[in-house]
Amino acid sequence: MPQTKIVPTFDNVSIKRVAFMFKGSSASINTDCNGNLDGETEMQTVEKKCGSTVVKTKSKPIGMTVKITGHVPIEVYRRFNGLKQDERIKAGVYSYGPDSVGEDFSLAAEIFDDFEENSKLVGMLECSSATGLTFAIENGADEVAALELEAKVMVDEFNKFYHEAIVAELDEDLTDDWMSKLSADVIKKAEPVARTMKNTNA
């Protein structure tokens, strides 16, 4: 089905919110106090040489990293880094050590274009923590330091790293489902309903 509308420009002005959908959860955890959202793709380049001269080259994406800087809920901080309670330790104490593994998650973001008053949805379905626990505390600072979370993005069931959609181009607004429970099912095209033949025998 052809698109009914193409948005000619979209300026990434502000991050409205970011959502973490941890595997096995029924709903995302949203945060609306975000400073930066940065993505970087790792490319593999294949060259064809004639002697020492490169005559052809082709590059393709083989990996992706995303970095989130902001103030996230404590639950996100703990689940991302693998901070957990140990049954040998008193309740309320969350610990981190060699056996700490962050939980896999899907990452969703809603980006707003203040000039055109339009939104863009960004999503990565298969993410995992790419850094260990870090913290920096400055006594007497004028501003509370934001957390920096770096994640590795793996290919999903569509063999993709990254998905985006400008809301105005969609046949239906996916914002609520995208930001509350992003998964493959949210973006997957619905299967056509099979037609059944009516029995014409008397």
Q: Name which of 39, 37, 44, 1 is nearest 18 in CA terms.
A: 37
pLDDT, one tens digit per residue, over 41-74 is 999 999 999 989 999 999 999 999 999 999 999 9
Helices (H), the chain: 74-81, 175-181, 184-187
Is 48 inside any structural domain? yes
CA 105 to chain centre: 8
CATH number assigned to the domain comprising residue 182: 2.30.110
Q: 5 pLDDT exceeds 60? A: yes
Predicted structure pTM score: 0.87
pLDDT, one tens digit per residue, over 75-102 is 999 999 999 999 999 999 999 999 999 9
Is 194 inside any structural domain? no
Is 115 inside any structural domain? yes
Cα 48-49-51 angle, rounded to 5 deg:
165
Overall domain count for the chain: 1
Spatial separation of the C-alpha atoms in residues 118 and 110, rounded to whole Å? 10
Is 6 inside any structural domain? no
With contact defined as beta carbons under 8 Å apart, do 61 and 43 qualify? yes
CA 181 to chain centre: 12
Is 4 inside any structural domain? no
With contact defined as beta carbons under 8 Å apart, do 42 and 62 qualify? yes
What is the residue range of 103's domain?
A: 14-187
Is 8 inside any structural domain? no
Is 133 inside any structural domain? yes
Q: 194 pLDDT exceeds 90? A: no
Is 156 inside any structural domain? yes
pLDDT, one tens digit per residue, over 115-156 is 988 999 999 999 999 999 988 888 888 888 889 999 999 999
pLDDT, one tens digit per residue, over 156-174 is 999 999 999 999 999 999 9
Q: 202 pLDDT exceeds 60? A: no
